Structure 1
Amino acid sequence: MSRGAARFRGFSWRPVGRKRATIAGVELSIRAGERVLVVGPSGSGKSTLLHALAGALGTTISGEATGEVEVDGRLGLVLQNPADAIVAERIGRDVAFGPENLGLPRDEIWRRVDVALEAVGLEYDRDRFASALSGGEQQRLVLAGVLATEPDLVLLDEPTSMLDSATASQVRDAVIGALGDRTLLVVEHRFEPWLDHVDRVVALAPGGTVAFDGTVEGFLASSGQPGLWMPGAPPPQPFDVPLDLVKPVADPDPVVARDLTVELVTRTIRGSRRSTALSGFDARVDPGRVLAVTGPSGSGKSTALVAMTGLVRPRSGTIAPDLGRLRSPDLARRMGWVPQNPELGFLTTSVREEISRTATALGASVDVDALLELVGLARLGPSHPYRLSGGEQRRLAMISALAHRPGLVALDEPTVGQDRDTWAMVTGWYTAAARAGAAVALATHDPDAPRDMEVVL
């Protein structure tokens, strides 16, 4: 094979704890310099293909593999969860990690760092703390680290999923501009903007088999698959979630935020640094309505959400009621929090236990089987939460945080990583909660996510 080429020969993968393979008998050849888009419904094995090429299966990810995977050349992988790939406390050092390990001269290392940070639009100095970045900014940081190594094969797992449309376009341009004759495999759910930049589309079906492999034109002419965000199709209607699963146990109060300013403190062994993450923020979350906090990546959407819900204390401004003064159990009863990074909320070693953990601790009863069936995770009850796909993890995080039916529902980028069908389920859940009387707030850059009110940062 030429440098940058890759090949799967009868490849199958069954994660530990699963009865079924997530990839089954895949035969696939990627030519050097080819640009390939990989699509498919949530859980169909898209990320698994990239992990197989990166050599992560069977080492950092446990399971059983059969068949062969071959790669020629050096590769760079952008993970679906960017926090998993950040290795240094400051962004300059993080981007420099790859070039340093290649043994490049110091001047060349820092030249590549600066070029890569500029290419992805991270306009901070090298000493910016990585922990002070938003989720979307972390995604760009990890991409910069990959571009700085100048790999032969670039693997991107939903590289723009956490970005607003303008920033996503900038990142795509950076990737295409840096590729040259390198090979590209990119996984995306919202894939339409990539179609003009790829030569070929590979569509996976549930169960990890190849349902389509051909040109962009051929893919668009096909009927597609259930769950795919095909170009031009309107968003689906939110799923009709039974109200008894989401109706608040107690009637909530409105939450009113006035002139909030929030400072984040980043602490390291060298000291601490304060940075303003939000300034002059006003919002109101009413029972029975959905408030969306929107704005570009890094504008403070997540910070606004955690401040309103009592998880972070603002430097100035007022919140009524001030949920931050409540004891943890009392706050948990009143508010359900779904973080942007779903792994931050996982506490147990099985999907079933994760769903019941918070509710049991609060003395609430939940029908775990009904919830699993509703969100399409019924067969994954015994699985470890960390063994799920990104979209599956986000659905699990949502029902785990909300199963006890709190009156205030807060969701950070809830529709990221979802196919059309699971998007309908996620949006159906929080809109049903609002219809049942809950006060719902979400931070999102998804223009299709249903909302009654919007605050733009």
Structure 2
Amino acid sequence: MADAAPLALRVRGLAVTPPGAARPVLTGVDLDVPAGQRVLLAGPSGSGKSTLLRALAGVLEEGPGGEPTATGEVLVGGDSARPGAAGLLLQDPQDAVVATTAGRDTAFGPENLALPREEVWRRVAAAHAAARFDAGREREVATLSGGERQRLALAGVLALAPGVLLLDEPTSMLDAPTAAAVRAAVLDAAAGRTLVVVDHDLAGWARHVDRVVLLDADGHLAADGPPGRVLTAGAGGGELWLPGAPDPRPADVPDGLLAPHLRVDGDALTGQGLGLVRRRRGLRPAPPASVLTGVDVRVPAGAVTPLVGVSGSGKSSLLQVLAGLTRPTAGELRAGAGLARGLRPQPWRWRSRELAARAGWVPQTPEHAFVRTTARAEAAATAVALGLPAARADALLELLGLAHRAQVDPFRLSGGEQRRLALVGALAAGPAVLLADEPSVGQDRRTWSVVVGLLRAAARDGAAVVVSSHDERLVRAVDPAGTRAVRLHAGRRVAGGAPAAPVALGRAS
């Protein structure tokens, strides 16, 4: 790809108060980034990291009447920040999708630069290779896993060959080997460009950047300097994933807080030979894609069952089948008698209300589940719809550090906050089965501790918990013996996650 001249960044007195927020998420930020420098932007979940990237990209949200939400000065290359001056990778890759196929999606930016057709497709090929996206130009975007979409979104930014790369959690939904490969690709692509990257994986980036800028929980610039000086013991008040730090201890959760309203013993769900073929119908039908083949799985009450495997291995698809949201095209999924309670045994046959009364769903893209205009109303939405009290929702908001954001629109929360809110909404209704897709993405050490503590506590209190995750720390915490994990590869169950008798979880040790 053609080289672009690196641009310097300058921020003076930046304060940002998003619409509906009671207080600023950034306050008085001053920052200078010389052209070509590589910067790691770090801080606790909700500290304003994504907001600062959006300010540098010139895409801050306006108020409901069009009034600005920010004060201060933000310059890119000496000019006021404006859309298109820098390449921004959004935290949620779904927000970047603009086309039905991977090639057309990546081509969108170069086409809007009015580049010749040959150059457009040359850039697409180069960007896919640089982002380690190997699914092919004709792959339907709707069939990609979350990790594959993340790499595709990165390719879309790289295809523009910008002088500034602003990357928000570019490896957060990837397995460790793929994350390392994508990180190497980013660093190669950033050669000769200015780079600002937000990531909770500080160890993975620290040795590759010139500088670390640290924001505190109130959106102030707390530290700025070489990685070795900023990332010291105690930096970030214990909330940062500092290199070499031990795994956090899962938080204690009061006994009985997450007790299911429907008590289930034994296996809540059993799948035999589960298969799933996805078909795209319409004006541009695509060939069927087999995403699950012959998967056997047991989901016992009182235990956590992790789903593990590389990006694109079928974890999210299996989770959707187990949740009753997708009908398997082969094999059979049956609910135990205690879970079905008079209903037909196939969860995909249940009505929405019947599903909601039994299963809590935390999707990989949490905003897909949001139906209310404040975080508190969203947290209690399912419980209220089922005629249950909202007290559990309030307690969970407090535990997960969201009580002070209770009146904020869920769509204006940070990515990590949105995931925690989706978990609150799922747990507040007291489900007998909890199904969570990558719930630890975007969490700092403190919020990770609470998220994992809640997963363990839900199982301890009697729920059947299934969690899909690339997070090796999470999998170790919920399955210390490594005997319950279901390992997938290319849609099939493989060795390394053999079924075993479940072990009920007690209080975190």
- Shorter-chain TM-score range: over 0.9
Q: Aligned AA for 1:87?
A: V
1:129 aligns with 2:154: no
Paired with 2:395 and 2:363, the residues of 1 have a C-alpha distance of: 23
Q: Secondary structure at the match of 2:170?
A: coil
Equivalent in the alignment of 1:451: 478
Equivalent in the alignment of 2:263: 251
What's the offset of the Cα at 1:273? 3.8
* Structure 2, unpaired ranges of 5+: 80-84, 336-345, 489-509
Equivalent in the alignment of 2:502: none
What's the offset of the Cα at 1:58? 3.7
What's the offset of the Cα at 1:402? 1.6
Structure 1 residues 84-112: Cα deviation after superposition (integer angstroms, max 9, x where no partner): 01111111011011111111111111011
Residues 362-377 of structure 1 aligned to structure 2 (within 5 Å): 362-367=386-391, 368-377=393-402
What's the offset of the Cα at 1:116? 1.1
Q: Secondary structure at the match of 1:197?
A: coil
Equivalent in the alignment of 1:352: 376
Q: Aligned AA for 2:380?
A: S
Equivalent in the alignment of 1:214: 225
1:294 aligns with 2:305: no
Paired with 1:160 and 1:268, the residues of 2 have a C-alpha distance of: 33
How many residues align? The count is 456
Q: Aligned AA for 2:217?
A: P
Contact 1:245 1:403 (C-alpha < 8 Å) held by counterparts: no
- Higher alpha-carbon deviation: 40-49 or 226-235: 226-235
Paired with 2:472 and 2:118, the residues of 1 have a C-alpha distance of: 43
Paired with 1:394 and 1:87, the residues of 2 have a C-alpha distance of: 23
**Please, which of 293, 309, 314 is the counterpart of residue 328 of structure 2?**
314
Equivalent in the alignment of 2:411: 386
Paired with 2:255 and 2:279, the residues of 1 have a C-alpha distance of: 40
Contact 2:320 2:326 (C-alpha < 8 Å) held by counterparts: yes
Equivalent in the alignment of 1:274: 288
Equivalent in the alignment of 2:82: none
Q: Aligned AA for 1:358?
A: T
CA RMSD, 1 decimal: 1.5
Q: Aligned AA for 1:403?
A: A
**Please, which of 264, 276, 285 is the counterpart of residue 262 of structure 1?**
276
Q: Aligned AA for 1:98?
A: G
Contact 1:243 1:433 (C-alpha < 8 Å) held by counterparts: no
* Structure 1, unpaired ranges of 5+: none
Contact 2:232 2:242 (C-alpha < 8 Å) held by counterparts: no
Contact 2:169 2:198 (C-alpha < 8 Å) held by counterparts: yes
- Higher alpha-carbon deviation: 232-241 or 363-372: 363-372
**CA 1:60/1:193 → structure 2, altered by over 3 Å: closer, same or farther?**
farther
Q: Secondary structure at the match of 1:244?
A: coil
Residues 2-81 of structure 1 aligned to structure 2 (within 5 Å): 3-59=6-62, 64-72=69-77, 74-81=85-92
Paired with 1:155 and 1:317, the residues of 2 have a C-alpha distance of: 45
Contact 2:42 2:212 (C-alpha < 8 Å) held by counterparts: yes
Structure 1 residues 156-187: Cα deviation after superposition (integer angstroms, max 9, x where no partner): 00000000011111111111112221000000
**Please, which of 117, 122, 126 is the counterpart of residue 111 of structure 1?**
122
Paired with 1:115 and 1:337, the residues of 2 have a C-alpha distance of: 38
What's the offset of the Cα at 1:437? 0.7
Contact 1:32 1:182 (C-alpha < 8 Å) held by counterparts: yes
Structure 1 residues 204-245: Cα deviation after superposition (integer angstroms, max 9, x where no partner): 001110111000121234531121001111111111112332
- Higher alpha-carbon deviation: 147-156 or 111-120: 111-120
Q: Aligned AA for 1:377?
A: L
Structure 1 residues 317-351: Cα deviation after superposition (integer angstroms, max 9, x where no partner): 11122211212111111100000111010001111
Paired with 1:202 and 1:220, the residues of 2 have a C-alpha distance of: 10
Equivalent in the alignment of 1:102: 113
- Higher alpha-carbon deviation: 408-417 or 375-384: 375-384
1:410 aligns with 2:435: yes
Equivalent in the alignment of 1:143: 154
What's the offset of the Cα at 1:126? 1.2
Paired with 1:122 and 1:317, the residues of 2 have a C-alpha distance of: 31
Equivalent in the alignment of 1:427: 452
**Please, which of 243, 248, 265 is the counterpart of residue 231 of structure 1?**
243
Contact 2:62 2:69 (C-alpha < 8 Å) held by counterparts: no
Identity %: 50
Equivalent in the alignment of 2:494: none
Q: Aligned AA for 1:440?
A: V
What's the offset of the Cα at 1:117? 1.0
What's the offset of the Cα at 1:451? 2.4
- Higher alpha-carbon deviation: 233-242 or 267-276: 267-276
Q: Aligned AA for 1:240?
A: D
Q: TM-score, normalised by structure 1?
A: 0.97
**CA 1:60/1:148 → structure 2, altered by over 3 Å: closer, same or farther?**
farther
Equivalent in the alignment of 2:170: 159
**CA 1:136/1:411 → structure 2, altered by over 3 Å: closer, same or farther?**
same
Q: Secondary structure at the match of 1:427?
A: helix
Q: Aligned AA for 1:451?
A: V
Q: TM-score, normalised by structure 2?
A: 0.87
Paired with 1:316 and 1:36, the residues of 2 have a C-alpha distance of: 49
1:334 aligns with 2:364: no
